[in-house]
Amino acid sequence: MLENLTQQPPDKIIMLSGMFRADPRSEKIDLGVGVYKDANGNTPIMRAVKKAEQLLWDTETTKSYTALIGDGGFHKVMADLVLGDAVEAERLSFAHAPGGTGAIRQILELIKVASPDATVWMSDPTWPNHPAMVKGVGIPMRTYAYFDADTGAVNFDGMMADLAEAKAGDVVILHGCCHNPTGANLNETQWQQVADLLLEKEAIPFVDIAYQGFGDGLQKDAFGVRLLAEKCPEVLISASCSKNFGIYRERCGLVIAISRDSENAGLTQGMLSSLNRLNFSFPPDHGARLVTMVLSDPELRADWEAELEEVRTSMLGLRKKLADALRDETGSDRYGFIAEHRGMFSRLGLTEEQVTKLREDHGIYMIGDSRFNVAGLSEASIPKIAKAVVAVGG
Ligand code: PLP
Ligand code: TYF
């Protein structure tokens, strides 16, 4: 049987991490996979998360199962974090899933059963797991224009023109903030226009929010998702706790579905519960427990918010320093967009060959589309990176 299997395309981001680890050069620089790193290159456990973990060790009395959809306390704190008071609680349903990726998968399966004829739209470009998973679930997909490589900004006219072709019942994936891979984001007016267009077309927004707090701050990063929640009768949301709580390997993500009314929310809740049971029964609890403790305890929450703010501002500082260094090296402002972008990523706009040269000749690792992880930069490496970019012709 197993000899019938065919070779599957690798995840290019994960493959690059393997190549980096295997590189013996001590001066190598990892700007690949989207994991936060501090000034020493470590991915720390956040202070409040560590304290919650210690508290949990002292107070946890059972490891018995939770519920198929995870713990209600976790749903509540996360709904509050992501949505604030944008929508009545009775219209919400939830499913805790293994990571934001797991939440995306569950949403796609929900779409497949609820609306077999729907097309799922995604930005061009987007996180490679979006098309891979949509294809894997067997849903037709289309892309909408998103990025203007010449200016480094959102190609908003192109986006609106493409989305105008969405049919009633189609689902449109939007990055809640900190677009991966481009770092270019919608402004508040543009979010309004997208919301109005989706309402007019009766298309359903699916907001993937994986970096809340990494862009302009916890509240501002939720502007788009909250606006859609206020305006649209149905919204699907996948929220990841991997980055903003630094609990990547705990696999903590959440489906939040907004239905038209409480009756539909009950139906949605039933299906989400069933989908969890069919795929993995109970979700992993540890990460969700930590998130719930941090968000419920005023002291832990304040410390978490403070540390998240340190992370956010340090990435903004690194963006500015790289943009400045590239301006000095090139004598032009063509990399100025790096300081304007938000989140963990931007694309330098290099060719695949130039990216390969950066890796082979300079030990600088970034994704083939020239996406780099801002948190992988450091004060020490920025001048070297700027010189190398110019040396490869960037
Ligand atoms: N969505 C986007 C756009 C991402 O970049 C990521 C990656 O971190 C995720 C979702 C989900 O990540 P995880 O499954 O680690 O929570
Ligand atoms: O884009 C990134 O680098 C992060 C991490 O299959 C990631 O979102 C990368 C690949 C993957 C899962 C997570």
CATH superfamily of 9-43+311-391: Aspartate Aminotransferase, domain 1 (3.90.1150.10)
Domain positions in the chain: 9-43+311-391, 65-296
Determine the pLDDT at residue 103.
98
Strands 171-175 and 204-209: parallel
Question: Does the beta carbon of 129 lie inside 6 Å of ligand 2?
Answer: yes
Determine the pLDDT at residue 180.
98
Ligand 2 atom nearest the C-alpha of 210 is 8
Q: What is the pLDDT along the chain (394 residues), one digit of tens a residue?
A: 999 999 999 999 999 999 999 999 999 999 999 999 998 899 999 999 999 999 999 999 999 999 999 999 999 999 999 999 999 999 999 999 999 999 999 999 999 999 999 999 999 999 999 999 999 999 999 999 999 999 999 999 999 999 999 999 999 999 999 999 999 999 999 999 999 999 999 999 999 999 999 999 999 999 999 999 999 999 999 999 999 999 999 999 999 999 999 999 999 999 999 999 999 999 999 999 999 999 999 999 999 999 999 999 999 999 999 999 999 999 999 999 999 999 999 999 999 999 999 999 999 999 999 999 999 999 999 999 999 999 999 9
Give the Å distances, CA to CA, from 310 to 22, 244, 307, 317.
Answer: 31, 12, 5, 10
Determine the pLDDT at residue 310.
97
Distance, in Å, from the CA atom of 379 to the CA atom of 135, rounded to the nearest integer, reads 41
| Class of residue 168 by CB neighbours under 10 A (exposed 0-12, middle 13-18, buried 19+) | exposed
Determine the pLDDT at residue 139.
98
Residue whose CA is at the smallest distance from ligand 2 atom 2: 34
Does the annotation mark 210 as catalytic?
yes
Does the annotation mark 306 as catalytic?
no
Q: Which architecture, in CATH terms, is 65-296?
A: 3-Layer(aba) Sandwich (3.40)
- Ramachandran category for residue 281: left, alpha or beta (phi over 0 → left; psi -120 to 50 → alpha): left
Does the annotation mark 12 as catalytic?
no
- Ligand 2 geometric centre to CA of 33 (Å): 6
Establish whether this prediction's ipTM goes over 0.90: yes
Q: Which residues are CB-contacts of 249 (< 8 A; sequence separation ≥ 6)?
A: none
Determine the pLDDT at residue 7.
95
Does the annotation mark 243 as catalytic?
yes
Question: Does the beta carbon of 240 lie inside 6 Å of ligand 2?
Answer: no
Of 51, 103, 121, 127, the catalytic one is 127
